[in-house]
Amino acid sequence: MMSATTAQGEERRGLWSAWREDIRCVFKRDPAARNWIEVLTTYPGVHAVLMHRLSHRLWQAQWRYAARLLAYLMRLLTNVDIHPGAQIGARLFIDHGAGVVIGETSVIGDDVTLYHGVTLGGTSWNKGKRHPTLGDRVLVGAGAKVLGPITIGNDARVGANSVVVQDVPDGGTVVGIPGRIVADKAVTSGEHGINLNHHLIPDPVGRAIACLLERIDKLEARLEEQGGIEPDYRVNFYNNCSPASEICEKDCAGGKQHFS
């Protein structure tokens, strides 16, 4: 899990050093990035992170209004809303940028990737820690909402459009509404172990449906053996079925393909 020193380390680094790392990391995580000029002039997520580094220093120096004003101006320009009080580690990459919200007490580790529409939000009006803590190398998919003072462990992945309200362990993968942990082993690749394969996540609903259909198939077979079901019922049922997913077409026991 990310320690407090990770985010605090960003405080001690020079601003120019932090900015250089923020720009360099784009080329490692976005194949569309071609050169420095393009990144510096056309990437709103990069603009938002660069200016947050400055507004956060103003916030820490008790120049609170100036910090909020700078954050507000960057929100107008980038459509990314980062509170100047948020603690952000090295090499944060916000891809596309649109609609990202990071709350005041959020803590983000190193090499984190956020896609568009991500919210790191609070669930309380009380002062104090009320926003999430993200460990190192966390990836949060498009549209996901991570809410409350929870902790997302190192190398964890949050699937697109998930709503996460509970802690996620190191290396965990969470999907759904509310978020459910569907894997507990990290899948890493590339430099710094960054994993961009956020589409390679299990389908717990599909697996549950497949298990239910397998169970139904076994029960129907048992009823048929006992004379409680017409012998051709199952054949006719599956011939009239049009599975709409690969799970139903290939993985369900006694699926359509076995009776056609």
How many helices (H) does the chain have, and how many strands (E)? 9, 15
Q: What total of structural domains would you count in the chain? A: 2
Q: Has residue 240 got a pLDDT over 90?
A: no
Neighbours of 8 (CB within 10 A): 12
Instruction: Tell me the C-alpha distance between 192 and 147, whole Å.
Output: 27
Inside any domain, residue 167: yes
Is the model more confident about 39 or about 1? Answer: 39
Which CATH number does the domain housing residue 70 bear?
2.160.10.10
Q: Answer yes or no: do 30 and 149 share one domain.
A: yes
Inside any domain, residue 198: no
User: With 0-12 CB in 10 A as exposed, 13-18 as middle and 19+ as buried, what is 68?
Assistant: middle
Mean pLDDT of 191-220: 68
Instruction: Tell me the C-alpha distance between 70 and 84, whole Å.
Output: 9
Q: Answer yes or no: do 156 and 59 share one domain.
A: yes
Q: Answer yes or no: do 144 and 21 share one domain.
A: yes
Q: Which of 193, 224, 248 is the endpoint of a domain?
A: 193
Q: Answer yes or no: do 39 and 125 share one domain.
A: yes
Q: Answer yes or no: do 35 and 119 share one domain.
A: yes
Q: Which of 193, 216, 251 is the endpoint of a domain?
A: 193
Amino acid letter, 209? I
Q: What's the pLDDT score for residue 53?
A: 92
- The confidence band for 106, taking pLDDT boundaries of 50, 70 and 90, is very high
Q: Answer yes or no: do 167 and 64 share one domain.
A: yes
Inside any domain, residue 174: yes
Q: Answer yes or no: do 142 and 228 share one domain.
A: no
pTM, entire model: 0.70
Q: Answer yes or no: do 136 and 221 share one domain.
A: no
> For residue 129, what are the domain limits?
4-193
Inside any domain, residue 155: yes
Q: Answer yes or no: do 54 and 110 share one domain.
A: yes
pLDDT digits (tens, 9 = 90+) for 146-184: 999 999 999 899 988 899 999 999 888 888 888 888 776
Q: Answer yes or no: do 60 and 139 share one domain.
A: yes
Q: What's the pLDDT score for residue 104?
A: 92
Instruction: Tell me the C-alpha distance between 260 and 255, whole Å.
Output: 9
Q: Has residue 254 got a pLDDT over 50?
A: no
Q: Which of 174, 193, 212 is the endpoint of a domain?
A: 193
Inside any domain, residue 199: no
Instruction: Tell me the C-alpha distance between 155 and 146, whole Å.
Output: 15
Q: Answer yes or no: do 158 and 95 share one domain.
A: yes
Planar angle of CA 247, 248, 250, nearest 5 degrees: 65
Sheet of 87-88, strands arranged across: 87-88, 107-108, 133-134, 151-152
Inside any domain, residue 46: yes
Q: What's the pLDDT score for residue 29?
A: 82
Scanning the chain, the segments in alpha helix (DSSP H) are 4-12, 15-29, 36-42, 44-60, 64-78, 204-225, 233-239, 246, 256-259
- The confidence band for 119, taking pLDDT boundaries of 50, 70 and 90, is very high
